[in-house]
Structure 1
Amino acid sequence: MSITQPSNGTLTSLESALAELLDGLAPAALTSVPLAQARDRIAAEMPALANPLPKSNRAVIDGWALRSLDLAGASSYSPVPLMTAPVWVEAGDALPDGCDCVLEANLVACGGTIAQAFADTIPGEGTRRSGEDIAAGRPATITGRSLSATDLLAARAAGLQMVVVRSPNVHLIDVAAIDGNLLTVEFIAELLRAAGARVSVETVARDARSITDALDAPPCDLIVTVGGTGFGRSDATAEALKMRGALIAHGIALRPGRTAAIGKLGAIPVMALPGAPGQAFAVYHALLQPVLDRLTGRTGRFGTILPLARKISSVVGIAEIALLRQEKSAWLPLGVGDLSLDHLRMADAWLVVAGDSEGYAAGVTVEALPLRVT
């Protein structure tokens, strides 16, 4: 199917489209979720921890709890008699009063009338001191960050059962592909969930009325459509947005993804993504991800700065998405403006080549944003 320019012959710049989407957009409401449902959600502000972790000094090995001062000079050649009987502790036990270290079982002999130590040590050896894991007054979760398995480990250790997050409701409308495939809508749903969103998916026919009806979704924070954004006879997504009075722009100066459309239903942003995976990928990262960051309150999205292993050439007048793979200490460009599935799966990072740029010469340092979080 051939694609023609929008009817007015112009494309909306990437910067203008993003400004329209973010204008007046407030973060999603706070919600509390069980830890079992919190993975990949974006943490919101919570009260600081009232108690340190651990609450008291604890053993981290099985052995004898002792006072380090009583062990001065002890060795296998010159054992030191212990005036106070050692106390056996298991890993995780609280240390007895007056004890500040734990020796392994074979370093203490308790067979005679007086126990003997065969090694000296320093205070804290074999122990975890109170507050050494997390000090009192530290945040329960790190606001604005995606909750990882490690974050949830810390929350469980603190005795939390629920955490507060910003997890926007996204209504994802699948404008049915002509061949019936679900490749792109499933791809976008997975990206949305990985970004901390709650996603409901609805499949509709490729006509303006069906799409318009789907726009009247239950209350949500963001509407995303996939498919039907071109300028062919079977593409009706932009027309549906126009009928609903929501269309802001159809045709974005972005490659790939030129046929994308943006709009708003009241205060709810609407993003219409093309149905081809590479094009949807580009629009997701260039436009949709910043909207999600605003809704979730996500902070700290930083890239990696490395030199380019070879040049990137770009067309002036349209922003282009480049995919990169890290090789040693440089970025190797995989694709620019035309992204294959192989490019998508091999890439480590991406960047936008601005519309006023002809690209970058080999050796120029660029900042690229990661595609995978480890």
Structure 2
Amino acid sequence: MTSPQRLPTSLTPLDVALDALLNGLEPVAPVEVTLKEALRCIAAGMPPLPAHPPRDTAAADGYAFCARDLVGASSYSPLLLSAPPVWVEAGEAIPEECDCVLDSDSVDFSGPMPQVLAEAIPGQGVRRAGGDIAAGSLVAEAGRRVLPRDLLMARASGIGRMKVRRPRLGVVDVPGGAVTADLIAESARAEGADVVSSTAAGRDAGPIAAALADGAYDLLLIVGGSGVGRTDAAVTALAARGEVFAHGIALLPGRTSAVGRVGKTPVVVLPGAPDQAFAAWWTLALPVLDRLSGRALRKSVNLPLARKIASQVGMAEIVLLERKQDMWTPLAVGELSLEAIARAEAWLVVSGGSEGFAASAPVDAYMLRD
């Protein structure tokens, strides 16, 4: 039996551990995928779109005219037509010489000659060229997550595939932590990663090390086995296959997390407890995934605190927040219940050098919900 894992006498600051993970890391190469596959991935840039519609089209069913020809037309002074007007259906291109569309009630066919019973202004009943999508628009800006509304623009423009950055992420479950491993895998998929989950054949270092495929992934996450118990061997396995940068991070929750590499692949070892794993996911794994995806800087929401947040100096602490009356209300600090995780709308980190924030102080928080 191998010796139990041990934490160092001093914990590694969170920013130092993250810098070690990100050092030399570049975004993955773009791939072209179907629109369905592109949803929630990070856009990698596409050529500008043409105008849509490409020509003026009818906004509703009716008759196409040139507005200047209808000046003065009314039910009291109808305009007689020498030939029947052109009928257009909604969405059809209107004739080049026309600039408006009148509904059927505005044209009378009861007499020997058609009569127009109303005036119109240019553009009435017409959807202008480029009215839906202006020429030069982008389906999604590079570095931004692809959302359903982006796919609407792509489909309207006749685009069936998109270029995205979709890192391949391996999640290795150390037996006994399936609930947490599933939670992390689902969170990664929601961020657009191509996730492959597997379970080590056992909790010893050998089976865990065997599950760490070298070069198969852009990021590896090991869930469970990061503590100092008799059956915890994930960090020992990482050391056998690659390099351990730090084991024991000044992070609450998530103190037993570890970071390292196998070959060129960054590795984050997340504790098996859901709250600790989530803390390490938000602060260590997610920034790595963002770098690999080429994601633009995540936006935060700045609001004042409803009450103060007290934090331990020397430890980075996760705070879960709920928005009430345009203020952030703290739900949990450092110790995160599953109920608090489920209710939380945002999170922030109190740095190790801070004692917290005073009530009414404005703070920036990252949203947990779209």
**Runs of 5+ in structure 1 lacking a partner?**
none
Q: Which among 178, 195, 198 is matched to residue 202 of structure 1? A: 198
Percent identical pairs in the alignment equals: 50
Q: Residue by residue, what CA displacement relative to the aligned partner does 1:60-83 show, whole Å, maximum 9, x if unpaired?
A: 212222222233455556555556
Deviations 1:289-316 (A, max 9, x none): 1111111111142111111111111111
Check the 8 A contact 1:325/1:333 in 2, yes or no. yes
Query: How many Å separate the matches in 2 of 1:241 and 1:87?
Result: 75
Structure 1 residues 55, 175: closer, same or farther in 2, change over 3 A? same
1:215 aligns with 2:197: no
Query: Is residue 2:258 matched to residue 1:261?
Result: yes
Q: Tell me which amino acid in the other structure corresponds to 1:48.
A: P
Instruction: Evaluate the alpha carbon distance shift between residue 5 and residue 326 of structure 1 in structure 2; reply closer, same or farther with a 3 A threshold.
Output: farther
Aligned to 1:301: 298
Counterpart residue number, 1:313: 310
Equivalent position amino acid for 2:295 in 1:
R
Query: Structure 1 76/231 Cα, relative in aligned 2: closer, same or farther at 3 Å?
Result: farther
Q: How does 1:1-374 map to 2 (within 5 A)?
A: 6-49=6-49, 51-74=50-73, 79-81=78-80, 85-177=84-176, 182-204=178-200, 205-217=202-214, 219-373=216-370
- Equivalent position amino acid for 2:299 in 1: F
Pairwise CA RMSD: 2.0
Deviations along 1:129-181, whole A, 9 cap, x unmatched?
1122223333343211111111111111111121111000111101111xxx5
Q: Distance in 2 between matches of 1:350 and 1:80?
A: 67
The one-letter code of the counterpart of 1:59 is: A
For residues 332 and 119 of structure 1, the distance between their equivalents in structure 2, rounded to whole angstroms, comes to: 59
SS at match of 1:215: coil
Deviation for aligned residue 1:232: 1.1
Where structure 2 has 5 or more consecutive residues not aligned to the other structure, the ranges are none
SS at match of 1:112: coil
Distance 2:284 2:76 in 1: 71
**Is the Cα contact below 8 Å between 2:214 and 2:265 reproduced in 1?**
no
Question: Aligned equivalents of 2:268 and 2:215: distance in 1?
Answer: 17
Secondary structure of 2:211 counterpart: helix
Mapped to 2, the partners of 1:73 and 1:280 lie a distance apart of 74
**Partner Cα distance (1:319, 1:152) in 2:** 39
Matches of 1:352 and 1:55 in 2, distance apart? 49
Normalised to the residue count of structure 1, the TM-score between the two structures is 0.92
Query: Counterpart of 2:149 in structure 1: which amino acid?
Result: T
| Cα distance change, pair 282–125 in 1 and its aligned pair in 2 (3 A) | farther
CA 1:328–1:120: 2 relative to 1, 3 Å: farther
The one-character-per-residue Cα deviations of 1:239-270 (angstroms, maximum 9, x if unpaired) are 11112232110011111111110001222110
Matched residue SS, 1:96: coil
Runs of 4+ in 1 over 6 A off after TM superposition: none
The 3 A distance-change label for structure 1 pair 7 and 338 is closer
Aligned length: 366
Letter of the 1:64 partner, please give it.
Y
